[in-house]
Amino acid sequence: MRISDQQRRARIGARHRLAAKAATPEEAAASVVALHGTDPATVFLSAGARLSSPGPEPVERALYADRTLVRMTGMRRTVFVVPAELVPVVHHSSALAIARRERASVLKTFGEGGWDEARLKDVEASVLRLLASGDATAAELGRLEPRLREQVRVAVGKPYEGVVSIGSRLLALMAMDGLLVRRTRAAGTWVSGTHYWGLAPEMAEWAAHEAQAELVSRWLAAFGPGTEADLKWWTGWTLKDVRRALAAVGAVTVELDAGTGYVLPDDTGEGPAHAAADDAGEGAVGEPWAALLPALDPTPMGWQERDWYLPREHRAELFDRSGNVGPTVWWDGRVVGGWAQRPDGEIVWRLLEDAGAQARAAIEAEAAGLAAWLGEIRVTPRFRTPLERALTSS
């Protein structure tokens, strides 16, 4: 069976809720497995691009009141916002292995300062006792447990030399181990990254290989077809783990315009959309669609091999030097430009290719809608890219 690049681009609109909008933030997150959460603004902007009624309120409710969305470290040591039912899967498939490597790194970094496994465990126990009385910020925990404030200089002699505290590493490590969870934001607006830490609730146990199979199944449903290289990059696993998970879900091979891809056994039809997306949300599946997606959005970051939706000649303008994507403008399944928000709140965008009058009109409407629900909020991506910088300064 063959699935063309055009068919793959049609799947993006339907499955990622960009052509057929979602009713809830939970549906929006599930449509791309999880939302990127390294930059707090990304969560709200990614959800907003997929919601029939965008705005920060439903996302904050899901994160902080209903807790149906959970912020956690997951694949590739990246912070994601994950549907609550998927937390154990991400934890056992990815986070625990990352935690083991992170613990070794922490002990190596702070070892010369007298930190060993016993001392680390003692401070962890102290943090758990403190949080048993209620949630607290990292700064509050540092005042109550002074050992969290101990610092060490890293990367000495290098351009990125700096000082890190044991608390900044240890609290994140405890979250990777499933002991802590990021709760409500502590101050500011929804673009603020300051949050409270709390004790993590109990979670279901999964064998690592079963959790990996479940995660691959979710990824194929949202992003398939994809290659082994795509999955290896997205998960951060070894190729052996990827191949074992593909075999476990019975993934079948399909011919792509560039190589061999994989889909779920029941996903070999030629239609562009997952059945659920055809019957839900706004927008007719198959019609051209426009979207303004934020920096680190899960759609442009969903595959390692991107030529079929993101022309290679656009990448220098749209990515930073570390491979983080900036704000992108989409037309009917392809990246055609980028956008930014100026200090006065105006949403500005630039096409990197001629997409036609229909595209320009649709993109302008998307920009107006985004400006309306952002209101007085100003968003500057954590990882800035050449085109985003150019648009904000012009």
pLDDT at 274: 38
- CATH, domain 85-199, list 1.10.150, 1.10.10, 3.40.120, 1.10.1790: 1.10.10
Is the pLDDT at 279 greater than 60? The verdict is no
pLDDT in tens, 134-161: 999 999 999 999 999 999 888 778 887 8
Distance CA 199, CA 180 (A): 5
Which residue matches tokens 């625990």?
96
Torsion angle defined by CA atoms of residues 218, 223, 226 and 231, in that order, rounded to the nearest 10 degrees: -50
pLDDT at 286: 66
Contact 12, 201 (CB under 8 A): no
Distance CA 165, CA 162 (A): 10
Domain edges within the chain:
85-199
pLDDT at 275: 35
Degrees to nearest 5, angle at CA 82 with 76 and 83: 150
Q: What is the pTM of this model?
A: 0.92
Distance CA 23, CA 273 (A): 17
Is the pLDDT at 8 greater than 80? The verdict is yes
pLDDT in tens, 110-130: 998 889 999 999 999 999 999
pLDDT in tens, 322-331: 999 999 999 9
Lowest mean pLDDT among 8-17, 177-186, 318-327, 361-370: 177-186
Q: Which residues pair with 60 in a beta bridge?
A: none
pLDDT in tens, 20-44: 999 999 999 999 999 999 999 999 9
pLDDT in tens, 225-268: 999 999 999 999 999 999 999 999 999 999 999 899 999 999 98
Contact 195, 185 (CB under 8 A): yes
pLDDT in tens, 85-110: 999 999 999 999 999 999 999 999 99
Cα–Cα separations (whole angstroms), residue 380 to 51, 78, 191, 365: 22, 19, 9, 21
Percentage of residues of the chain with pLDDT beyond 90: 87
Give the residue-averaged pLDDT of 280-290: 63
Distance CA 87, CA 205 (A): 11
Distance CA 292, CA 80 (A): 20
Q: What is the mean pLDDT of the chain?
A: 93
Is the pLDDT at 281 greater than 70? The verdict is no
Residue 291 — pLDDT band, cuts 50, 70, 90? very high
Is the pLDDT at 285 greater than 90? The verdict is no
pLDDT in tens, 197-227: 999 999 999 999 999 999 999 999 999 999 9
Q: At what angle do helices 208-223 and 228-235 cross, to 10 degrees?
A: 120
Lowest mean pLDDT among 36-50, 153-167, 173-187: 153-167
